[in-house]
Amino acid sequence: MVDKATGSGGWRGWRAATRAALYGVDGTGGFYRRPEGPAGHFRTSVHASPLFAGAVARLLCRVDEALGRPSSLDFVDMAAGRGELVTAVLAALPADVAARTRAYAVEIADRPVGLARRIEWLSEPPRRLTGLLFANEWLDNVPVEVAEVDSAGVPRLVLVRDSGVERLGERVSGAEAEWLARWWPTADEEGLRAEIGLPRDTAWASAVSCVEAGLAVAVDYAHSADARPPFGTLTGFREGRETAPVPDGSCDITSHVALDACAEAGAIAARSAARAPADARLLTQRAALRALGVTGGRPPLSLASTDPSAYVRALAGAGEAAELLAPGGLGDFGWLFQPVGIPHPLDQPPQTG
């Protein structure tokens, strides 16, 4: 029987299946349009602690300084969920910077009720922005094809039905085969898998090309060419639990990001925007947040007797920082920094006063 939607008995590649499951068809349906939003199903760094938004606000201040404190400074929360990060960043900025900041949330889902009016809600990032574009856990949700090596050692596209049942399809060819050969070459061992990150490179390059001057940052679960996971990382999340990836709209579908490949695509975009060499840099979240002042140290015990409530607050902050910095957890996320026409902001000492 031939399926009316796909014309192929319901079999399609993971990219098309994920796109429909997460973002719906013809502007309706899809996991990410559901009213509860991402926070109803998993915890990102944004939900884990306001310390994360505080660090992003400090990064925006460094970009502001590198740009010479322009009269209008852009902050773009790319793939904004329900606008939690942009809201918290605005609250954490010093008043003089906040007054000059134009805040944007870029999302496929609808604008949430009650979001501050000063935040513009867009479906695409603004062109020619001056400031910081920050994408937390966006690229892992950009749908990709999955390849699997068959019994003859040939990588083939994996096809899937809405139920999650898979079979192998055509051999990987064209630009997708080139991407695999360059970024994720698979040995000829049957069953090895790889996620073909080409659409993420393209999406990231397009986001970076919107930055006329400033910085683009992508933060995600990541791997690089020296340590790709041999069976890929495709997985699902539903109501706080990891689950099998089933592309029926009932769960998130995500896979870790080849951020090194995105860095190269982004550097080409940054170079053509700034007409200057681009200094892409990849750090762990642990290193990036520490450089932005999130330390996770416990408060001195003496504070408990001099100011007990300050001690309790500081202790809670230390716990939240530990979660953001944790090895084996959020601390291992990758931060891809892509400056456009400015020096790398973490190389600049923070200004005081």
If the CB atoms of residues 186 and 209 are measured against ligand SAM, the closer one turns out to be 209
Enumerate binding residues for ligand SAM (CB under 6 A). 32, 38, 44, 46, 79-81, 84-85, 106-109, 136-138, 141
Contact 320, 49 (CB under 8 A): yes
Measured from the CB of residue 202, what is the shortest distance to ligand SAM in angstroms? 11
Measured from the CB of residue 78, what is the shortest distance to ligand SAM in angstroms? 7
If the CB atoms of residues 139 and 146 are measured against ligand SAM, the closer one turns out to be 139
If the CB atoms of residues 83 and 131 are measured against ligand SAM, the closer one turns out to be 83
Q: Are strands 281-284 and 334-340 parallel, antiparallel or unpaired?
A: antiparallel
Measured from the CB of residue 180, what is the shortest distance to ligand SAM in angstroms? 23
Selection from 90, 45, 136, 42 nearest residue 320 by Cα: 45
Contact 14, 144 (CB under 8 A): yes
Measured from the CB of residue 196, what is the shortest distance to ligand SAM in angstroms? 17
Q: Are strands 129-136 and 73-78 parallel, antiparallel or unpaired?
A: parallel
Three-class HEC string of 221-272: CEECHHHCCCECCCEEEECCEEECCCCCCCCEEECCEEHHHHHHHHHHHHHH
Q: How far is CA 3 from CA 9, 10, 143, 241, 321, in A?
A: 4, 5, 21, 31, 49
What DSSP string runs through 78-104? ET-TTTHHHHHHHHHS-HHHHHHEEEE
- Taking the CA atoms of 136, 54, 56 and 125 in sequence, report the sign of the dihedral they define: positive
**Which residues does residue 77 pair with via DSSP β-bridges, in sequence order?**
105, 134
Measured from the CB of residue 71, what is the shortest distance to ligand SAM in angstroms? 28
If the CB atoms of residues 44 and 243 are measured against ligand SAM, the closer one turns out to be 44
If the CB atoms of residues 38 and 247 are measured against ligand SAM, the closer one turns out to be 38
Selection from 262, 322, 324 nearest residue 298 by Cα: 322
In whole angstroms, give the CA distance from residue 154 to residue 175.
16
If the CB atoms of residues 169 and 247 are measured against ligand SAM, the closer one turns out to be 247
Measured from the CB of residue 157, what is the shortest distance to ligand SAM in angstroms? 22
Selection from 223, 62, 36 nearest residue 139 by Cα: 223
What's at 67, amino acid-wise? Answer: L
Selection from 74, 75, 87 nearest residue 114 by Cα: 87
If the CB atoms of residues 107 and 195 are measured against ligand SAM, the closer one turns out to be 107
In whole angstroms, give the CA distance from residue 65 to residue 47.
28
Measured from the CB of residue 238, what is the shortest distance to ligand SAM in angstroms? 13
Measured from the CB of residue 319, what is the shortest distance to ligand SAM in angstroms? 20
Measured from the CB of residue 63, what is the shortest distance to ligand SAM in angstroms? 19
Which phi and psi (to 5°) does residue 101 adopt?
A: -90, 130
If the CB atoms of residues 77 and 148 are measured against ligand SAM, the closer one turns out to be 77
If the CB atoms of residues 85 and 325 are measured against ligand SAM, the closer one turns out to be 85
Q: Which two tokens stand for residue 352?
A: 């005081």
